[in-house]
Amino acid sequence: MVSKALVVGAYQRKAEEIARLGVDLVVLTPPAWRDRRGSQRMRPVHTEGYTLRAIPIRGNGNFHFHYYPTLGKELRSVAPDVLHFDEEPYNLATWLALRLTARAGIPATFFTWQNLYRRYPLPFSAFERANYRAARVAIAGNQDAAAVLRRKGFSGEVAVIPQFGVDPAVFTPAAAAPRPADGRPLHIGYAGGLLPEKGIADLLHACAALRGEWRLALAGEGDELSALQPLAGVLGIRDRVTFVGRIESTDMPAFHRGLDALVLPSHTTSTWKEQFGRVLIEAMACATPVVGSDSGEIPHVIGAAGLIYPERDCAALAAQLQLLLDEPRRRAELGGAGRRRVLAHFTMAQIAAQTVAVYRRMAGVA
């Protein structure tokens, strides 16, 4: 498996679960990955039962044009039965990787989150068409992404599997639920990129409209930080808002357990809509109630185990948060429902088992 996502320590649990199912697994990552949220170095955290190794990358931070110059040598050394290239089909890195596997006769699959139908200019459209021909199986992170693949002409098998689940033994509920009736403020949180499309300004406006005591923690980095900090001041809530910065993936369970509600207020744009919202299942596994906009995959992830509101509707978001502030019992009910939903659908072990089933079909041993 080649995956820049696995620079994140918590995500490496998926690799451990794959190895536990009898797969002789080698995971290759870049030494670090940069994007609009900042830079994250590869941090080995979960490494039991498989090989995790960093390899050189060129074009780090360039989503479309990055690639791995030593991948050919790595493939000759490992001689895999299948290659899982954890990257979009319209990117240079995927095209180069699937050319190498085609020459070597190695079955390969790619992963896509792209849930908007978009026509790409050259050379990306050429990369995409070539990769559709080269891969007999594609893994889509959500149903909309699978539909996009079909609409664009991919004729192979499409397996709909989220990229990552959560480990419910790590993301666990707090030992004792907080008692909101004590006059304790409602602790609201957001975690992820501080980016315009994440709708965090809506969350600030919604919090400013709440009646009663509350605190807001914003965890993450990104381009929007310079706009959000003064906005909190303009709204008169700067003393209730904490900008936490980036939190290590291994510290996220404690962050979620310290919240009374986790909000994902994403906006759909012409080029993006929420593709999954992993932070939601992290919070749900910790029995933290979640509130999400109706952008993209969010309603399908939350189901009936949280609260949904129309994206960009700050008043509706405020109403959902006010409900949680006023009704502690409702918070407890939603927290329990969220934990049960994760156990039923979104554990790392379940995602790994579905992924290994794809590998076996690709290798002809299913």
Neighbours of 159 (CB within 10 A): 17
Q: Is the whole-model pTM more than 0.85?
A: yes
Does 231 reside within a domain? yes
Q: 79-121: per-residue pLDDT in tens?
A: 999 999 999 999 999 999 999 999 999 999 999 999 999 999 9
Q: How far apart are CA 10 and CA 114, in angstroms?
A: 23
> Is residue 233 located within the same domain as residue 139?
no
Q: 246-264: per-residue pLDDT in tens?
A: 999 999 999 999 999 999 9
What confidence score (pLDDT) does residue 176 get? 64
User: What does DSSP say about strands 186-191 and 214-219: parallel, antiparallel, or unpaired?
Assistant: parallel
> Is residue 122 located within the same domain as residue 200?
no
Percent of the chain with pLDDT over 90: 95
> Is residue 147 located within the same domain as residue 110?
yes
Does 156 reside within a domain? yes
Neighbours of 146 (CB within 10 A): 19
Burial of 20 (0-12, 13-18, 19+ CB in 10 A): middle
Q: Which domain holds residue 266?
A: 180-345
Looking at the structure of the chain, the number of domains it has is 2
User: What does DSSP say about strands 38-41 and 32-35: parallel, antiparallel, or unpaired?
Assistant: antiparallel
> Is residue 323 located within the same domain as residue 357?
no
